[in-house]
Chains A and B, each alone.
Chain A
Amino acid sequence: MEDESAVAFPLRRYLARLDLEVDWARELAEAEALLASHSYRVVIADLRLGGSHHSEGLDLLSHVHRHCPETRVILLTAYFTPEIEAEALRWGAVAVLRKPQSLAEISRLVFESLGV
């Protein structure tokens, strides 16, 4: 889940090059709809969309926690603080990564979450 296409595009393409199937949601409702109709091993979510003061990433994390407990969640954020990290880890996130983050590091965590 990422509302900035310029951020989402290289990440999707990078993961696709590594033979992973990737769907992209621009907002929370779209992400929840995708989760309802497909089964995903890993979700990568931006913590805060569109510069809002709301934490859609934590909402999605909580949604996944309740509805798809097998799915692992990696959060990305431009608003990194130790408090946000602690909150996300308490809800079961695999990691909270500070933006900008290299695609290599994100994909490494994805494969770690897949147990590969």
Chain B
Amino acid sequence: MFEFPEALFARLPLGLVIVDRHARVTRISRLACQILDCRDRPCLGRRVDELFGPSHDLAGILARLAEGDERRMTLTVARETGPDLELGVTLVALDGGVSATAFALILGDLGRLRQVELDLQRFEVLGSSLRITSGLAHVLRNPLAAILGLAELLYLELPRDSVHSGDAQRILAMVSRIDLLITSCMRLAPTGARRIDLDPRDLVAGATEALAAKSPGAMPSVVIRGALPSVHVDRGQAIEALGALIENAFDAGGEGAVEIEISTEADAATRRAFVRFAVRDHGPGIDGAELAQLFAPFFTTKPDRIGLGLSIAQALVVENRGSIEVDSRPGRTTFGLLLPASAGGEGRRE
């Protein structure tokens, strides 16, 4: 019988199943249990075909593997608690020749891996665009300073009753607009997050205060689920990102209030804890085409916006090692802001 240290299994951030020559499970890692949706049912002693579904005939494939053989395949597993999962499975015969005594099944969530790959590609493209944008923003500031100075001087030196005074003022207004746009673009490449431990409720208070100053009466309802750990983020950046999501929710309109639900979440693979701020609106929802572009700079469906709010929010969240997820259907859209909990979960607050 192949031996594998139990302590190693407990810590393995990998979907791994070991089966004997009868294709019965002798060891299974926690992540594999989660992937196969068998947390509440005992897995040990069961045949692989029960876990993966008989149509894949994994037992038959394993029986034909010789020692050292490896076979890779893709299969879809139905789950009770979530959508079907597309898995990449590597089957390895561990020892014993044609009558191998043990096999390892290494599982990979292909859907998730593809998403990670797509995210990486997106960030790579975004990263190079941001370097160009940031460089451009800097070099634009000098000519802009000249235009501002010359227009200001022109306005000052024109006779009071000159018909051109208005033109000079219009130039000044345009310079302010470009300046604001440049400043916004540079926020897409935030640097220097000063991360400290903070009460998640402090971030909500900061974000809603800033919003109330801009739009009096815009007050979301807040629900806290369970005890919350503190989050480890840059306060100003996190408040700005959360504020952008709340403002976006109010902009979505619809019947019913904007709600914020705060809860704790753990990433099974990395064992990192997060605090989730779910910002929900009851607007018309976001269609698929819009959803794909939602965080792209300059994408907006509103004619009076420049479309940088969500892009900046995402950049700030990534800078703070968090993420934003979106779930939208007609009448209910939720933006989930995930921020990293403080190390060790200290500072738990009831």
A residues within 8 Å of B by Cβ?
4, 6-7, 9-11, 13-14, 17, 51, 76, 78-79, 81-83, 98-104
Q: Is B145 an interface residue (CB 8 A)?
A: yes
B-side interface residues, number (CB < 8 Å): 19
With A81-B191, A81-B192, A82-B192 given, is the CB distance from A99 to B153 under 8 Å? no
Q: Determine the residue in chain A with the shortest Cβ distance to B146.
A: A6
Other A-B pairs beyond A14-B152, A14-B153, A103-B148, 14, CB < 8 Å:
A4-B145, A6-B146, A7-B146, A13-B153, A78-B142, A78-B145, A83-B192, A99-B144, A100-B141, A100-B145, A100-B147, A100-B175, A101-B148, A102-B152
Q: Summarize B's interface: helix, strand, loop or mixed.
A: helix
9 CB < 8 A contacts A-B = A4-B145, A13-B153, A78-B138, A79-B138, A82-B192, A83-B192, A99-B145, A101-B145, A103-B152
Write out, one digit per residue, whether chain B residues 119-155 have a CB within 8 A of any chain A CB (1) or not (0): 0000000000000000000110111111111101100
Q: Nearest-CB distance from A30 to chain B (Å)?
A: 19
Chain B residues in 8 Å Cβ range of A100: 141, 144-145, 147-149, 175, 179
Q: Determine the residue in chain B with the shortest Cβ distance to A48.
A: B138
Q: Is B156 an interface residue (CB 8 A)?
A: yes
Partner of B142, one of A7, A10, A14, A103: A7
Interface residues of B in 159-184 (CB under 8 A from A): 175, 179
Number of A-B contacts (CB under 8 A): 59
B138:A10 contact, CB within 8 angstroms: no
Chain A residues in 8 Å Cβ range of B138: 78-79
Chain B residues in 8 Å Cβ range of A4: 142, 145-146
Please measure, in the bound complex, the distance between the C-alpha atom of A101 and the C-alpha atom of B192, giving whole angstroms: 24
Chain B residues in 8 Å Cβ range of A98: 141
Chain A residues in 8 Å Cβ range of B191: 81
B148:A102 contact, CB within 8 angstroms: yes
Chain A residues in 8 Å Cβ range of B153: 10, 13-14, 103
A103:B139 contact, CB within 8 angstroms: no
Partner of B152, one of A51, A81, A99, A104: A104
Q: Which 5 A-B pairs have the closest CB atoms?
A: A10-B149, A78-B141, A6-B146, A100-B145, A100-B148
Please measure, in the bound complex, the distance between the C-alpha atom of A17 and the C-alpha atom of B192, giving whole angstroms: 41
Q: Nearest-CB distance from B345 to chain A (Å)?
A: 31
Chain B residues in 8 Å Cβ range of A13: 153
Q: Nearest-CB distance from A90 to chain B (Å)?
A: 16
Chain B residues in 8 Å Cβ range of A82: 192
Write out, one digit per residue, whether chain B residues 172-204 have a CB within 8 A of any chain A CB (1) or not (0): 000100010000000000011000000000000
Please measure, in the bound complex, the distance between the C-alpha atom of A103 and the C-alpha atom of B144, giving whole angstroms: 13
Q: Nearest-CB distance from B267 to chain A (Å)?
A: 31
